[in-house]
């Protein structure tokens, strides 16, 4: 299985650019109308016309059990304890169109994170929003980062292909231990490539590949990810998009030899409601088919995993 995951990781960039290379170029008003509406999994691939403003607000909740294993004298493992880990991220992004040719735009973003580690594995993930039940765990929250995002179409005759680059830096006056829990001790640089193509009447595919680099004074993280979605317009103002995602990450300490590699394969389904052309609401649910965090002592219990993302997007100054 690990060999297959490594093969998928190696082929992801080839697959993404292979789709781009084999697709015909050209743009149409229908294509632009469709991409202006879609907000797939919280990602927008539409480059704004000059002086148009796009506002995105996403809310992502991820919660799961961590099983802590111990080994007997006979080298058999058994679960010694289970804990619930919950992470909630709110991200606000505003993007403005500067290009008269609609080739690029630029935006700013802010992230506010919540975290809870609960010794009661069967507790509600919603405890992350309160300070109650201190006997089993504590909740932390705070402004995590501010950043910038740049989007562009590298080839004018191929607007289906977009490149995005972002950089964010930690903010806030939280204690160092709390910042680490909230991932607000890390500066992040990422590069994202997306491709969107019509394949039938009301049917599309969407491919995304991302590389991410995070660093602080103590640790360094690398991440590569890829996603494939099939998008189906259900008629009227609804879109359905099932898909698959693969995530590979490497976490290491700047001091010492610690290094950990994790690999995840997600299946997911998303639903978007478009009551008006300028407004859309997106709901995405993810489930891990494979979750390997690279440790024999700790593992994620797949059946306990829940990941839900709710996004709102508005196009202004139209």
Query: What tens digit of pLDDT does each residue of 10-20 get?
Result: 334 333 333 33
E strand segments, the chain: 53-71, 77-97, 104-118, 137-152, 161-170, 187-200, 203-215, 219-235, 238-253, 259-276, 279-292, 298-316
Query: What tens digit of pLDDT does each residue of 146-192 get?
Result: 999 999 999 988 888 999 999 999 998 888 889 989 988 999 999 99
pLDDT value for 307? 94
DSSP SS3 for 177: helix
pLDDT value for 41? 60
Query: What tens digit of pLDDT does each residue of 137-158 get?
Result: 999 999 999 999 999 999 988 8
Provide the pLDDT confidence category of residue 245 given band limits of 50, 70 and 90: very high
Q: What is the CATH number of the domain that holds 43?
A: 2.40.128.130
Q: Which region among 63-72, 118-127, 260-269 has the lowest average model confidence (pLDDT)?
A: 63-72
Query: What are the φ and ψ backbone dihedral angles of 124, each rounded to 5 degrees?
Result: -75, 140
| Domain that includes residue 43, residue range | 2-316
pLDDT value for 57? 95
- At residue 232, does pLDDT exceed 80? yes
CA nearest 309: which of 254, 261, 263, 272? Answer: 272
Query: What are the φ and ψ backbone dihedral angles of 76, each rounded to 5 degrees?
Result: -95, 140
Per DSSP, helices labelled H in 60-204 are: 176-181
Residues 6 or more apart in contact with residue 134 via CB below 8 angstroms: none
Of residues 132 and 296, more confidence is placed in 132
CA 120 to chain CA centroid, Å, is 27
CA nearest 309: which of 41, 38, 40, 87? Answer: 41
Mean pLDDT for the stretch of residues 219-239:
91
Half-sphere exposure of 264 (CA within 13 A, CB side): 22
Mean pLDDT for the stretch of residues 49-63:
95
Provide the pLDDT confidence category of residue 243 given band limits of 50, 70 and 90: very high
pLDDT value for 36? 59
- At residue 260, does pLDDT exceed 70? yes
Query: What are the φ and ψ backbone dihedral angles of 4, each rounded to 5 degrees?
Result: -65, -40
How many structural domains are present in the chain? 1
Report which DSSP code applies to 119: S
pLDDT value for 76? 59
Query: What tens digit of pLDDT does each residue of 68-120 get?
Result: 887 766 665 667 788 999 999 999 999 999 999 999 999 999 999 999 999 98
Provide the pLDDT confidence category of residue 37 given band limits of 50, 70 and 90: low
Residues in the chain: 318
């Amino acid at each position: 299985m690990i060999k297959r995951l490594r093969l998928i990781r190696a082929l992801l960039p080839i697959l993404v650019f292979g789709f781009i290379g084999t697709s015909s170029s050209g743009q149409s008003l229908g294509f632009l109308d469709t991409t202006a509406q879609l907000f797939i999994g919280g990602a927008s691939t539409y480059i704004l016309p000059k002086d148009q403003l796009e506002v995105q607000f996403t809310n992502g909740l991820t919660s799961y059990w961590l099983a802590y294993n111990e080994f007997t004298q006979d080298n058999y493992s058994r679960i010694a304890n289970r804990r619930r880990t919950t992470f909630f991220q709110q991200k606000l992004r505003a993007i403005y169109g500067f290009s008269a040719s609609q080739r690029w735009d630029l935006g700013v973003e802010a992230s506010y994170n919540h975290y809870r580690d609960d010794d009661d594995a069967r507790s509600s993930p919603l405890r992350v929003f309160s300070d109650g039940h201190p006997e089993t765990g504590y909740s932390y929250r705070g402004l995590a980062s501010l950043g910038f995002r740049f989007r562009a179409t590298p080839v004018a005759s191929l607007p289906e292909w977009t490149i995005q680059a972002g950089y964010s830096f930690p903010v806030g006056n939280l204690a160092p231990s709390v910042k680490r829990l909230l991932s607000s001790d890390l500066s992040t640089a990422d590069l994202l490539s997306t491709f969107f193509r019509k394949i039938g009447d009301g049917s599309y595919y969407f491919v995304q590949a991302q590389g991410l680099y995070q660093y602080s004074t103590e640790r360094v993280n690398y991440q590569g990810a890829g996603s494939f979605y099939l998008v189906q317009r259900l008629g009227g103002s609804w879109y359905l998009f099932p898909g698959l995602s693969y995530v590979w990450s490497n976490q290491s300490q700047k001091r010492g030899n610690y290094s950990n590699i994790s690999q995840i394969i997600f299946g997911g389904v998303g639903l978007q409601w478009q009551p008006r052309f300028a407004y859309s609401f997106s709901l995405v649910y993810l489930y891990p088919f494979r979750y390997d965090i690279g440790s024999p002592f700790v593992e994620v219990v797949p059946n306990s995993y829940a990941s839900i993302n709710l996004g709102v997007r508005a196009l202004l100054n139209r």
